[in-house]
Structure 1
Amino acid sequence: MTDSYTATRARMPELEQRIAADPGRFRVLTGERPTGALHLGHYFGTIRERVRLQARGVETYVILADYQVIADRDTSANVADNVHNAVLDYLAAGLDPDRTTIFAHSAVPALNQLLLPFLSLVTEAELHRNPTVKAEHAASGRALSGLLLTYPVHQAADILFCKGNLVPVGKDNLPHVELTRAVARRFNERYGMTFPEPEAFVTDAPEIPGLDGRKMSKSYGNAISLSMTEDETARVIRRTRTDSDRAITYEPDRRPGVAGLLSTAALCTGSTPEAVAAEVGDQGSGALKQFTTDAVNAFLAEHRARRAELAADRSIAARVLREGNRRANVLADTTLSEVRERMGMAYSDQ
């Protein structure tokens, strides 16, 4: 895993040059599971990069993988609201629905039908080895569901339905791209050239720590949501566990809560955790919490204002999603028809 990541990172300057030279050659597929409100980790980790790629002229598809919500939980409750709110955050952050296609997994039947032939191209052992499958299974405390086990193949279908050839990922998700490349290669070898082998695009986005020092995550309850009000942000930050040492220092292992606050403030001010610690000095955790609250609220002020304007008309997000679903269905139907033709299964169309 480490060697693969290092090799992928080494290829990034050359890939960046190719994107800059001809952005129209690339098609990006990216997205997330709508399991809750999007937060600062999503913004700094992925959303900001999507806006940047869009501005460079790269065709981008953003999937809200609603079917995957039930991969490790019993209910799909709140998914509709989560999808709606995610679209609002995308638009507020700068994604342009005229240039970026935003769609829901469950609304594109032909995409999901690709799962069946793709499953024939992977082994059970490959699925069990996937780090995300193992991590999500361990975190769920439940029996491994068939949906979670096949999650990497669903992601391959998400990427390949639109013939995506560029996938922004962090280190943890690199195995998904590698499996997708294997699926594309094996299908091409068995049935004829159909899919590109997508390239991983590893960004420089840092892993965003939550307010308790762990990775920012909805499931940990340590996240600052993009949709929070200023007062809600202040309350969440005040609840962060720190310590009685008045000297503020950046020591993630020894002082995770303090480190999480410093990292959050640094990201929102364009500084470093060490510089923020020096600025707060010996004023204690109360002063650090106030500094972080002010930094987050200032950083998100424009986003929140745009989001509130968009949210005033609930039909806006619905229209964006409806049009994105339409575009995705046209493309998925075309790809599925090609797949059936390659496999010699287009006889029902004759």
Structure 2
Amino acid sequence: MEKEILVSNVDKEMKIALEKYEEPKDIKRVLSGMRPTGKLHLGNYFGALKTWLKLQDKAESFFFIADWHAITTSYHDTGKLSDNTVEMMADWLAAGLDPEKSILFVQSFVKEHAELYLLLGMIVPVKWLERNPTYKEMMENLKDREVATYGFLGYPVLQAADIVIYKADVVPVGIDQIPHLELTREIARRFNNLYGRIFPEPRPYLSEAPKLPGLDGRKMSKSYGNCIYLSDSEKEINKKVRSMVTDPARVRKTDPGHPEVCSVFAYHKIFTPSEKVKELEESCRKGEIGCVQCKKELSKILNNFLSPIREKREQYLQKKGDMIEIFVEGSKKARKIAQETMEEVRKAMNFFKA
């Protein structure tokens, strides 16, 4: 991984963490989760799911739908929480997460997360939470709602509980999540120092996620309305690709293009075979291929990539009960492990046992 490229895009704390980063080699148990905030898009796939698919073949893997985390900033409107959870189930399974390889579960089905969250909250200094680099940033960005809540300030403690309750040694994260995981390590270390070693200190696993812009050239985000979803139909893909931002300086087909500023070309670099990408780049710079043709080729490639995911997704939704049962069974497996960990925690903290 090119650390020097990554470092220029992150703040001081992330730079320090990245300088220390070494990709884990002896991976035993992996854990990660996602908040159910709606259908997943290509940014979610390349930013997380693709890495999860890789890791489920390497190690014992736990992946959970973080429905409690979803209400830390959206507690005022939980009307779509249940539907979003089901949509996420379909997206995960259609993308290739395999219940035969991974334990797939729903956070709120495993009540032990809440118990450990409570206990860890007793030992975490408030100043640790206030120094969270994304706390003030999100407080600033979410001025349209009241987020100065106990739950929002303490969500890193819940995140720590999610991880250490399964004694995960590796957590796949994005660059911006490194400080959060470092806080989890500090919390685990503090608990171990106080009560005896129970929890391993989880290590980050950084995926080399490609930069995938939204339709308007900005970061792909549901809040911007610029996403390509895994569930988009062929017609929707064609329409969205036609609307994508290209080289603003290029007026006519014969004008020399600048692929480095074109969102369409950014997608070609990810989805199109490298030989073809080179050919497209040269043709664009020479004004031999127009944006319309380039978009048509991208539409075909994207639809070929998404077609099997769409089909599987629809199949799972048609048998919704069977799909939900996968997560119910996964939650039972997860809870058994969580219960074993909590027995150790209660004993270490000297709680009375009748």
Q: TM-score, normalised by structure 1?
A: 0.87
Q: Is the contact between residue 51 and residue 95 of structure 1 (CA under 8 Å) also seen in structure 2?
A: yes
Distance in 1, Cα, partners of 2:155 & 2:229? 26
Shift of 1:82: 1.7
Aligned-pair identity in percent equals 36
Cα gap change, 1:275/1:90 in structure 2, threshold over 3 Å: closer, same or farther?
farther
Deviation track 1:130-156 (CA, whole Å, cap 9, x = no partner) reads 233333333322332322211211110
Q: Which one of the candidate residues 115, 127, 147 is aligned to 2:117? A: 115
Distance in 2, Cα, partners of 1:136 & 1:284? 41
Aligned residue for 2:295, secondary structure, equals helix
The answer to which of 90-99 and 285-294 deviates more is 285-294
2:256 matches 1:250: no
Aligned residue for 1:114, secondary structure, equals helix
Cα gap change, 1:340/1:130 in structure 2, threshold over 3 Å: closer, same or farther?
same
Q: How does 1:37-52 map to 2 (within 5 A)?
A: 37-52=39-54
Cα gap change, 1:205/1:190 in structure 2, threshold over 3 Å: closer, same or farther?
same
AA paired with 2:347? E
Q: Is the contact between residue 171 and residue 202 of structure 2 (CA under 8 Å) also seen in structure 1?
A: yes
Q: Is the contact between residue 39 and residue 91 of structure 2 (CA under 8 Å) also seen in structure 1?
A: no
Q: Is the contact between residue 264 and residue 292 of structure 1 (CA under 8 Å) also seen in structure 2?
A: yes
Partner of 1:264: 267
2:341 matches 1:335: yes
Partner of 2:227: 223
Cα gap change, 1:250/1:149 in structure 2, threshold over 3 Å: closer, same or farther?
farther
Cα gap change, 1:218/1:276 in structure 2, threshold over 3 Å: closer, same or farther?
farther
Cα gap change, 1:154/1:241 in structure 2, threshold over 3 Å: closer, same or farther?
same
Aligned residue for 1:224, secondary structure, equals coil
Partner of 2:319: 313
Partner of 1:192: 196
Q: Is the contact between residue 166 and residue 198 of structure 1 (CA under 8 Å) also seen in structure 2?
A: yes
Number of corresponding residues: 330
Partner of 1:88: 90
Partner of 2:178: 174
Aligned residue for 1:72, secondary structure, equals helix
2:62 matches 1:54: no
2:7 matches 1:6: no
Q: Is the contact between residue 245 and residue 284 of structure 1 (CA under 8 Å) also seen in structure 2?
A: no
Distance in 1, Cα, partners of 2:258 & 2:189? 50
AA paired with 2:16? D
Q: Is the contact between residue 249 and residue 274 of structure 1 (CA under 8 Å) also seen in structure 2?
A: no
Shift of 1:342: 0.8
Aligned residue for 2:210, secondary structure, equals coil
Q: Is the contact between residue 133 and residue 151 of structure 1 (CA under 8 Å) also seen in structure 2?
A: no
The answer to which of 108-117 and 133-142 deviates more is 133-142
Q: Is the contact between residue 188 and residue 201 of structure 2 (CA under 8 Å) also seen in structure 1?
A: yes
Note the residue ranges of structure 2 that are not aligned, 5 or more in a row: 1-13
Cα gap change, 1:2/1:195 in structure 2, threshold over 3 Å: closer, same or farther?
same
Distance in 2, Cα, partners of 1:344 & 1:157? 19
Distance in 2, Cα, partners of 1:285 & 1:60? 43
Shift of 1:190: 0.2
The answer to which of 231-240 and 327-336 deviates more is 231-240
Q: Is the contact between residue 28 and residue 60 of structure 1 (CA under 8 Å) also seen in structure 2?
A: yes
Partner of 1:103: 105
Q: How does 1:280-295 map to 2 (within 5 A)?
A: 280=284, 282=287, 283-295=289-301
Deviation track 1:269-301 (CA, whole Å, cap 9, x = no partner) reads 254977644345534433333233222112112
Shift of 1:244: 6.2
2:138 matches 1:136: yes
AA paired with 1:267? I
Cα gap change, 1:75/1:44 in structure 2, threshold over 3 Å: closer, same or farther?
same
Q: Is the contact between residue 56 and residue 102 of structure 2 (CA under 8 Å) also seen in structure 1?
A: yes
Q: Is the contact between residue 65 and residue 106 of structure 2 (CA under 8 Å) also seen in structure 1?
A: yes
Deviation track 1:175-195 (CA, whole Å, cap 9, x = no partner) reads 111011101100000011110
RMSD: 2.1
Distance in 2, Cα, partners of 1:200 & 1:46? 13
Aligned residue for 2:103, secondary structure, equals strand
AA paired with 1:70? I
Q: Which one of the candidate residues 293, 296, 299 is aligned to 2:302? A: 296
Partner of 1:255: none
2:159 matches 1:150: no
